[in-house]
């Protein structure tokens, strides 16, 4: 039985429009890691045309998408801007990947030169470049002051340039936000944006647990998490990093 009143609500926003390269595995990773700790979890899939109460959610997930999916999601999100902005300011935990990430900034200029407006919740913009940035990627981010290795797979035309918003991490190998300034993703309050598919959370359990902890803290629930056996994920991350650094030198 789940512990007392502990119940987290995970919202998968527009799985019908934004869901590439196994992105929904991120939702699955959150669900499993909560269930393994006997914490109740509910998943709400919000599709095109559905209404959503952001305040009632604990973790909001947005995946990547095709140009068409991204376009449609931008139209949907426009209507939700104010409630989403207010809930983000109050500490809603958000994970946004690739196309979903780009939608939280000012705009995405697609390969045809057309501007897809973003919500402007975070201070960055994205412009498509001539080639796609594709491959495995390793990043170092900071969680509670400690360096944490994060690995994944990226595939994006967009080059994101941050304004006042901080990056989520620093690229160790791969392209990241734009292939130039070694930044990867964006981080603001409890919002984490990244180009890393993979999906990112099953590959990087420390980040998954960080999101869970932040969501529990937002509800003033006990946030000390029972440790899980993640040694295979840690090992896999180190192997990828070593391989990527070897290729970089060669
Ligand atoms: N618009 C995105 C890009 O930069 C879409 C890619 C994605 O979500 N994987 O290419």
Q: Are 24 and 31 in contact (CB under 8 A)?
A: no
Q: Looking at the domain assignment, is residue 2 inside a domain? A: no
Which residues sit opposite 94 in a β-bridge? 60, 191
Tell how far the Cα of 109 is from the centroid of ligand 1, in angstroms.
11
Domain of 228: which CATH number? 3.40.50.880
- The mean pLDDT value for 1-5 works out to 57
Residue 136: which domain range?
7-249
Tell how far the Cα of 139 is from the centroid of ligand 1, in angstroms.
19
Q: Looking at the domain assignment, is residue 51 inside a domain? A: yes
Q: Are 207 and 143 in contact (CB under 8 A)?
A: yes
Q: Which of 23, 26, 156 best tests ligand 1's pocket when mutated (most atoms within 8 Å of CB)?
A: 156
pLDDT at 103 over 50: yes
Q: φ, ψ for residue 5 (rounded to 5)?
A: -90, 5
Rounded to two decimals, the pTM is 0.96
Q: Looking at the domain assignment, is residue 1 inside a domain? A: no
Which residues sit opposite 59 in a β-bridge? 10, 93
As for how many domains the chain has, the answer is 1
Query: Is 190's C-beta closer than 6 angstroms to any atom of ligand 1?
Result: no
pLDDT at 4 over 70: no
- The mean pLDDT value for 17-40 works out to 95
Query: Is 240's C-beta closer than 6 angstroms to any atom of ligand 1?
Result: no
Q: At 3, is the pLDDT very low, low, confident or very high (cuts 50, 70, 90)?
A: low
Query: Is 171's C-beta closer than 6 angstroms to any atom of ligand 1?
Result: no
Residue 248 pLDDT: 79
> Average pLDDT, whole number, for the chain?
95
- The mean pLDDT value for 52-65 works out to 96
pLDDT at 1 over 50: no
Give the other-Cβ count within 10 Å of 66's Cβ. Answer: 12
Which tens digits make up the pLDDT trace of 77-94? 999 999 999 999 999 999
Q: Looking at the domain assignment, is residue 100 inside a domain? A: yes
pLDDT at 241 over 60: yes
3-state DSSP of the chain = CCCCCCEEEEEEECCCCCCCCCCCHHHHHHHHHHHCCCCEEEEEEECCCCCCCHHHCCEEEECCCCHHHHHHHHHHHHHHHHHHHHHHHCCCEEEEECHHHHCCCCEEECCCCCEEECCCCCCEEEEEEEEEEEEEEEEEEEECCEEEEEEEEEEEEEEEEECCCECCEEEEECCCCCCCCCEECEEECCEEEECCECCHHHHCHHHHHHHHHHHHHHCCCCCCCCCCCCHHHHHHHHHHHHHHHHHHHC
Query: Is 158's C-beta closer than 6 angstroms to any atom of ligand 1?
Result: yes
Task: Name residue, tokens 């402007």.
Answer: 120
Proportion of the chain above pLDDT 70, given as a percent: 98
pLDDT at 134 over 90: yes
- The mean pLDDT value for 177-183 works out to 98
Give the other-Cβ count within 10 Å of 171's Cβ. Answer: 23
């Amino acid at each position: 039985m789940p512990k007392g009143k502990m119940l987290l609500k995970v919202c998968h926003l527009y799985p019908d429009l934004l869901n590439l390269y196994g992105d929904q595995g991120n939702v699955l990773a959150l669900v499993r890691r909560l269930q393994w700790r006997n914490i109740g979890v509910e998943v709400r899939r919000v599709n095109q045309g559905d209404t959503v109460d952001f305040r009632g959610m604990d973790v909001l997930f947005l995946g990547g998408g095709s140009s068409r999916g991204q376009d449609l999601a931008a139209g949907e999100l426009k209507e939700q801007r104010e409630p989403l902005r207010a809930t983000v300011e109050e500490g809603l935990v958000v994970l946004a990947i690739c196309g979903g990430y780009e939608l939280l900034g000012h705009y995405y200029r697609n390969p045809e030169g057309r501007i897809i407006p973003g919500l402007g919740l975070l201070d960055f913009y994205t412009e498509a470049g001539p080639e796609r940035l594709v491959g495995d990627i390793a990043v170092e981010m900071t969680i509670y002051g400690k360096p944490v290795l994060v690995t994944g797979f990226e595939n994006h035309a967009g080059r994101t340039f941050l304004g006042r918003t901080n990056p989520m991490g620093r690229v160790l190998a791969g392209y990241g936000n734009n292939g130039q300034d070694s930044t990867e993703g964006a981080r603001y309050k409890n919002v984490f944006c990244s180009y890393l598919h993979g999906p990112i959370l099953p590959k990087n359990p420390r980040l998954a647990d960080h999101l869970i902890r932040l969501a529990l803290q937002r509800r003033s629930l006990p946030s000390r998490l029972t440790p899980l056996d993640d040694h295979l994920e840690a090992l896999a991350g180190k192997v990828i990093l070593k391989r990527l650094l070897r290729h970089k030198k060669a």
